[in-house]
Amino acid sequence: MRTPIIAGNWKMHKNVGEAVELARQLDEMVADSAVEVVICAPFTSLSSLSALGVNKVKIGAQNMYFAEAGAFTGEISATMLEDVGCEYVILGHSERREIFKEDDELINKKVLKALEVGLKPILCVGETLAQRKAGETENVVVSQTTKGLAGVSPELIEQVVIAYEPIWAIGTGETSNGKDANEVIASIRQTLAKLFGDEQAQKVRIQYGGSVKPGNIAEFMEQPEIDGALVGGASLNVKDFVGIVKY
């Protein structure tokens, strides 16, 4: 049985004080939940969130670089994230792919480095609206999944979380419906089975992301292949986030 995982991606929001207060409230309000809860906060808040000593909520970052150290101005390494208490890191988010031109090869290097130091990657995959209309959704997500996980050993694949985020649904108010999302996620799991074997594929948690709210989370979580959600804007409000966690 896969443990559901709900992760909040705060993107470029929340100063340190705001982050600590939201995390403190969230930790108290979801203490009795069987769901794994993760906050992926800006780099500036990670140390303070870890020092808060929350019991239920896990801490994650939103990105990292694959090099151990060096002349990479503005970047953060996997070991730096591990050092400040991160357990998870989002990699390959569509905003990184679209705005910062990250490709599958770069994302794969990040995935491998994260696993090497003990971080759990949340690997994002998803299609654009044009690709969806062209009937290319399955091809896109299968390709991104395959390339993003190249070189990952079968023994480590269960440490990876995959987030299916249709790009056209991120921050737009539009969502895929539960049935459609489940079909895409089933294709991702079939790809994992081909790469790592069916037994290991069944251990990997796959989330849905894209304008997830308290009012629509149940539609996705009742689907057999969907193991959680990667939540954007709704994770910035503690009441909304708790409503999602307690779907």
CATH of the domain at 90: 3.20.20.70
DSSP 168: G
Tens-digit pLDDT profile for residues 85-138: 999 999 999 999 999 999 999 999 999 999 999 999 999 999 998 999 999 999
Q: Which amino acids are annotated catalytic? A: 93, 165
* pLDDT band at 235; cut points 50, 70, 90: very high
Tokens of 246: 């307690």
Residues 162 and 126: beta-carbon distance below 8 Å: no
In this predicted structure, the answer to whether residue 175 has a pLDDT above a threshold of 80 is no
CA–CA separation, 55 and 157 (whole Å): 26
H or E segment and range at residue 9: strand 5-9
What's the whole-model pTM score? 0.97
Q: What does the alpha-carbon distance between residue 11 and residue 84 come to, in Å, rounded to a whole number?
A: 18
Residue closest to 124 by CA, chosen among 135, 100, 101, 108: 108
Q: Assign 3-state DSSP to the chain and report helix, strand, coil percentages, each to 5.
A: 45, 15, 40
Query: Is residue 41's pLDDT more than 80?
Result: yes
Number of domains in the chain: 1
The first and second tokens of residue 225, run together, are: 């292949």
The three-state secondary structure class of 216 is coil
Tens digit of pLDDT for each residue in 65-83?
999 999 999 999 999 999 9
Q: Which domain holds residue 33?
A: 5-245
